[in-house]
Amino acid sequence: MKHLQALLFDVDGTLADTERFHLEAFNQAFADEGLDWEWDTALYRRLLDVSGGKERILYYWNQVRGHVVDVDGRGVRDTVERVHLAKTAAYEAMVNAGRVPLRPGVLRLLEEAKRHGLRLAIATTTSPTNVAALLRRALGPHWRLDFQAVCDASTAPLKKPHPLVYQQVLRTLGLPPPACIAFEDSSNGLRAARAAGMPTIVTPTRFTAGHDFAGALRVLDSLSGVGVADLRAWHGEPALVH
């Protein structure tokens, strides 16, 4: 097993429990667009199997509400783009208002990892706007300096569970997969990280608690109380523990 050198973090659901705010933002955007759509928690939990906001809207349109006609005659994809922009703006407003805190233990672990010389990276398929809004609010205006690699939807068009975003981060860091630990909250994220060859710690949310996390290094309620010593010990275990 390679010596632990880097921690790679997903964003939505992992660094912050964002999905309930994304759900609220989607519904606000639908209302603003005059669509009679309203996603509830049960439906949104199922839609999370589709990675990416625009992809999620398009899937819902095509698979669930395929009979809906084009809004204002502009075409499905133009409408999806417009709705997603409105949704992103609504979500960013929630973040800027301080409504979306980091999950327990995240900030402490980030700070401890830096003190111990571990490299930090972001591997997400959410939009760069969402990433920047959350981390700017949580870590300050110079948040980007804390991360040696940030790969997101702008760099990785193939969404999780495809491993592309993790492969991009590994190339940027110049590290082999066994030298890293990935942090995820969903089965799609776990599959992406594992396909890239990395041991993965999963901290599910209420939206992902029912997912299959077979193959995870650890499945934890949160990162509260988790320190670098714990990560090094778990990283050195020869067998994966569920």
pLDDT score of 150 more than 80: yes
Q: Burial-class residue 181 by CB neighbours within 10 Å (0-12, 13-18, 19+).
A: buried
List active site positions. 10, 12
Q: What is the mean pLDDT of residues 51-70?
A: 78
Average pLDDT of the segment spanning 64-89: 76
Kindly list the structural domains of the chain, giving each domain's residue range(s) and its CATH number in brackets, ordered by start.
Answer: 6-17+101-235 (3.40.50.1000), 19-96 (1.10.150.240)
| Residue 14 contacts residue 205 (beta carbons within 8 Å) | no
pLDDT of residue 1: 53
- Greater pLDDT, 76 or 112: 112
For residue 239, pLDDT over 60 is answered with no
Tell me the pLDDT tens digit for each residue of 172-223: 999 999 999 999 999 999 999 999 999 999 999 999 999 999 999 999 999 9
Predicted model pTM: 0.89
How many CB atoms lie under 10 A from the CB of residue 35?
17
